[in-house]
Each structure stands twice: as C-alpha cells, then as structure tokens.
Structure 1
Amino acid sequence: MSKLCNEFHVFFNDLVSNGFNTLLTSLPKDRQYFASGVPGTFHDRLFTESSLHFAYTNYTHHLLSKSPEEIQDKDSPAWNKGRIHYTNAPKEVMEAFATQFAEDATNFLGARAKELAPGGMLVITMQEVTSYLNCTTVSLFYYALEVTKLVEENWYLSIQRMELTDPPPWLKRKRHISVPNFITHVRATLEGIFSSHFGDEITDEMFQGLVKQISSKIEELVSKHREKTQLLVVLKRKVLGMCTA
C-alpha cells in the first residue's frame, strides 16, 4: 500500500509596502511546508477561486482600507477637523467610519468566500482597543453584529463559532509590561498608516510621545488585557456551487 503524503502550502499576505524578505528569511529552514509571500490588501481578491482550505487573520481586521472621504470634507457634517480617530466625535463621523467598515468587511468576506474551497474555514481574531489609545477601530460588539449581518447576506459562508475569548496567554500572565516594547509592536502595525498621512518625522515624535502617555496608564492596560477582550469568529465555506462573476 502506498503511503499518502500530505503537502501544505502557506501563503503570507501583507501590503505591497511590507518587507517580505525579512519575513521569508526568518522562516525555519527545517519547516515541513512550502511558503510564499502574497502582496496586496485583503479587502480585495488575492488568490484563485476555491484555492484555499484555511484562512486566518489576526488582529488586523479592524483596519480600514481608507479614511472616509466625508470626514476630510470641510463642508460635510462628518468633517472630523483633521483628526484621524473618532473618539468623542459627532455622530456623523461615527456613521462615516461605520459605513466604511461595513463596505470593507463586505469586500473582505466576499473575496474570502470566493477563494475558499467548499468546506474551507476562515478564522478571525480581533482585539478591542481601549479608548485612550485613540485608535480608529470598531467595538467588538458592533463588529460581531456587523459580521453576523454580512454573513447572512453572503450565503456562501456560515458562522461556526463567535465568542469573546481571553487574550494570548503570554500577555495575560504578565504582571509588568515594558512600555517601549509594547509601543514597538503598535508601531510595527500602524507606522505606515501614520507616515503616509503626516510624514516620517512627526510620526517618530508621535510614537515617542505615546510611550510617555501609555506609561501613566500601563496598569489599566494590563488589567484590560486580562479580561475577555478578544473576539473569535470562525466561518465556513458552504459546500455549494459558485458562480463566477
């Protein structure tokens, strides 16, 4: 009897501006899988139809594809006065961000539904961001409701699991967090967004100031991460025929 050999191909995705060489050279040489880097935004199609068996996005799905145009229009009720967050903003600003999020989430789920093979799984983990960090994000409660509605509209996907879970064990166990190290992780995610809007110099000053700001709130930050502040969503591609647009 011949031995069945299972082969795995792992695709790493990030924006075109990401340094894929650093990622690919850090992969273990004795890995038991093939690896590729795929540049592009996950709000659009990245792979051929029915080619993925498992897709996973971790702490990234709250990022918007762009700032809503109306918040930059001084003649619009949703003008956000030059700010890039909606903390304490008028309801029109909140609605503009919510509309943009719904559009992005629709595009994301539609793209993954086409790329997943029948029976394939899509797993999303998303973290709540506390208000004092002033990050552009959507609350987990709103996100859960929005995903539920969008999945119901996209009849190729079904919800297998959706629940609040604890943050990563290493973070939950920590009693003390190095603020500079924490900001380094935040910067790795957000620096490109800020630099494209404001330039490198002011972005560097902003992250240095953020270290001082977070240092005074570190205990609150740690306590928040010990609660159920992570949303887990597991979706499955239904075993149905699919029409190509």
Structure 2
Amino acid sequence: MAAAEETSKSSEAFPMKGGDGPNSYFKNSIYQRGAVDVAKQILNNEIAEKLDVEILLPSNTFSLADLGCSVGPNTFSAVDNILEAVRLKYQCQGLDSQIPEFQVFFNDHTLNDFNMLFKSLPPNRQYYAAGVPGSFHGRIFPNNSIHLFHSSSTNHWLSRVPKELVNKNCPAWNKGEIHYSNSTDEVVKAYEAQYAEDMECFLHTRSQEIVSGGLMVLIIPGRPNGTPHSKTLPNMMLQLLGTSLMEMARKGVVVEDKVDSFNIPAYYMSPQELEAAVERNGCFNIEKIENLPSPLGDGAAIGTRVLAYHMRAASEGLIKQQFGEEILDELFDLFCKKLEQKPSIFESGKGIYFLVVLMKRMPN
C-alpha cells in the first residue's frame, strides 16, 4: 500500500497539551521523563551489546526516529542518551573516524505543537533535526530508512475509540463509563481487539521502515502480567476521572449523553500481550523485555495535584473536543479531590513501565 494511502487512515489525533503554560505537557511530564531516565542504563547496555555497526558502516548517516515526541523536553533527553550510546559503540570498536552524522526525526500527530518542540531544541545538539507529522499507526518513513526507533509513553494510545463503544445498540455500548477498567466484558474485549489491531499495524509498518538488524526501543506504561484491568493503577485513575464527569453530569454541568458517548482511547497492555504481538508479526526478535523501576516512586509521593496536572496535560484535547474548554478547571479540581480521598489506590493499584528492545530480523 502506498504511504499516502496508509497515512490517510490517520487516527483520531488529540496530542498532548501544547505550549509551555501551567497546564502544558512541557511543564507536566516529569513522570514520563522519569521513565526515560530509569531506562537509560539498560538501553546503553543493549546498544553496546546488540547494535551491529558493521551493518551501518556503508552509510555515513545514522537515522533515529522518536515516535510520539510531543513538545519536549523528554524527547531531547532520550535522543541524547541514545546517540551518546551509539557514539560509544563506535569508539569501543576502534571506529572513531567512522562515527556517522546523526539525523533525528521527531514524529507526532499533525496537530502536535511542533513550534514549541522546535523552539526548545537544544542549541548545542550534535544532530540534524526534522519534524515528521503523522500517526505512527500508519506508514511515516520510506522503506529501510531508519536505524533505530524509540518511543516512550506512547504505545498505550490507541488509533481510535473501538467503534462498538459508540453504538447504542451494541452490547459494548459503554454507558456511564469513559474507559474499560470498570466495564462489561464486551467493552474490555472491544478494547483488546482494537489494541491487537493497532499493535499489529504498528509492528508491520515499522518492519518496513527499519533496516535489517536495526533496533526498536519501546518504553511502555502497562500492567503486570496477570493483573486484572480493574486493578491497574492508570485504569483506576481513569475510573476516577469518569466518576468526576458523571458527578458533573448529575449536577447538570455536562450533558450525560455526552459522557455516555465519550471514551478514552488508551489500553494498558501487559508484557505478555506485547510478546504475543511481536511473535504474531514475525519480523522482530525480542532482545530484551524488562520491568523498569518506578520512575518517581509511588503516586502518593509525587502528589495528587501533580498527577492531576499530568492527567490534564495528556487528556485535555480529548475532553475539550467532547465537552468544551469551560469545564476543564472544575473537572480536574474534582478529579484531584477524588484522588486525595482515595490514597489507597496507590497501594492497591498495580502499574508498571516496561522496556522492550526489538531487532529487525535479517533476511534469510
């Protein structure tokens, strides 16, 4: 399929809150930054052991793509970590004179605040930078053009809300809920099917874009193997956000029908689910899969208001499109109060970040 055709199937795009204001993702993404930081040493070791520079030597350009880059600064930290590890790999093999030039592609939805991203690019960076708009659920690069893909805190986002959820006549009609965490089996199955479809597409398109022997590094917020969806911490937080919206509907602040037809397109996979998806795809070897230490300790230690701001930075675009901008302050104040009233969810809820390193298989 042509790249233009695949891109035309673009997902519902509601990127992170742009700008650098108090509610922006730029100011409210320290938890995601923590995941990049705790993965750094493992990633360095994997690049040192697994990156085959012999494959790359014919080229004098090393191409790195960060998928779901948002507005910074986290993407710049991840890129610096990776390129430092690649340089060290060349040096350790006595190839100092053959270290390539670095081209970094920053990818996100077309509605992402690329102006903010480029405005905050590190001035002393040692790479060429380019923005590549488009959903990573479709093709965004030419065949065999990328040596290393990186993506952090992005693969839980689905390409769209499962279509069954917005059909009132379907058993998966998700009345009174905004997510699958406390919903019927039909709703959960619809989310699982959408996740499977999206991950199949993600792996298929990346397998075409990456060179043989190239690496793909994913840092994924998910749930531990065997943990019920209802006991997964991110899902429990989304459940509280849903109850906040329903409380506002009972007060007449928002229309209940709008809550009934509103669903968050996010799915928190387990490492086992990711492994199964990679096996079905058949184009990659799993070089590493490991649970990461908690980026910043538990949620209670971070502070409920910080978490509420993080949730707002990530979901404001979705909520504003459905309910309008005027409800946002009241909604997230209420959500913050509910978090404060239920500190136990930070003890009972299970959530993980896990690191996956994939290598594109060499042709037979």
> How does the TM-score come out when normalised to structure 2?
0.59
- What runs of 5+ residues in structure 2 fail to find an aligned partner? 1-95, 223-231, 240-263
Letter of the 1:210 counterpart: F
User: Partners in 1 of 2:348 and 2:143 — Cα distance?
Assistant: 40
Q: Deviations over 1:140-182 (max 9, x none)?
A: 43xx2332222222222111111222122xx139984243333
Letter of the 2:362 counterpart: V
Which of 224, 240, 244 pairs up with 2:363? 240
Partner residue, 2:8:
none
Report the alpha carbon displacement of residue 47 of structure 1 after superposing the two structures with TM.
0.9
Check whether the contact 1:177–1:218 (CA below 8 A) recurs between aligned residues: no
C-alpha RMSD over aligned residues? 2.5
User: SS of the counterpart of 2:336?
Assistant: helix
Partner residue, 2:55:
none
Structure 1 residue 202 and structure 2 residue 296: aligned? no
Q: Deviations over 1:51-94 (max 9, x none)?
A: 11111111111111111111111111111115320122110111
Measured at CA, do residues 188 and 228 of structure 1 come closer, stay the same or move farther in structure 2, by a change above 3 Å? closer
Check whether the contact 2:212–2:362 (CA below 8 A) recurs between aligned residues: yes
Which of 227, 231, 238 pairs up with 1:134? 238
Which of 148, 152, 167 pairs up with 2:275? 148
Structure 1 residue 214 and structure 2 residue 346: aligned? no
Letter of the 2:181 counterpart: T
Q: Which moved more, 1:200-209 or 1:93-102?
A: 200-209
> How does the TM-score come out when normalised to structure 1?
0.85
Structure 1 residue 157 and structure 2 residue 284: aligned? yes
User: Partners in 2 of 1:224 and 1:29 — Cα distance?
Assistant: 44
User: SS of the counterpart of 2:164?
Assistant: helix
Q: What is the aligned length?
A: 234
User: Partners in 1 of 2:181 and 2:351 — Cα distance?
Assistant: 22
Measured at CA, do residues 6 and 122 of structure 1 come closer, stay the same or move farther in structure 2, by a change above 3 Å? same
Measured at CA, do residues 224 and 89 of structure 1 come closer, stay the same or move farther in structure 2, by a change above 3 Å? closer
Which of 100, 103, 109 pairs up with 2:203? 109
Check whether the contact 1:164–1:228 (CA below 8 A) recurs between aligned residues: no
Measured at CA, do residues 51 and 74 of structure 1 come closer, stay the same or move farther in structure 2, by a change above 3 Å? same
Structure 1 residue 231 and structure 2 residue 358: aligned? no
Q: Deviations over 1:75-128 (max 9, x none)?
A: 111111153201221101110111111111111111111111111111111123
Partner residue, 1:7:
101
- What runs of 5+ residues in structure 1 fail to find an aligned partner? none
Q: Deviations over 1:197-230 (max 9, x none)?
A: 3222234432222222223345753x589x8721
Measured at CA, do residues 206 and 32 of structure 1 come closer, stay the same or move farther in structure 2, by a change above 3 Å? same
Q: Which moved more, 1:38-47 or 1:202-211?
A: 202-211
Check whether the contact 2:157–2:267 (CA below 8 A) recurs between aligned residues: no
Measured at CA, do residues 133 and 32 of structure 1 come closer, stay the same or move farther in structure 2, by a change above 3 Å? same
User: Partners in 1 of 2:131 and 2:309 — Cα distance?
Assistant: 23
Measured at CA, do residues 153 and 173 of structure 1 come closer, stay the same or move farther in structure 2, by a change above 3 Å? closer
Identity %: 37
Which of 318, 335, 345 pairs up with 1:193? 318
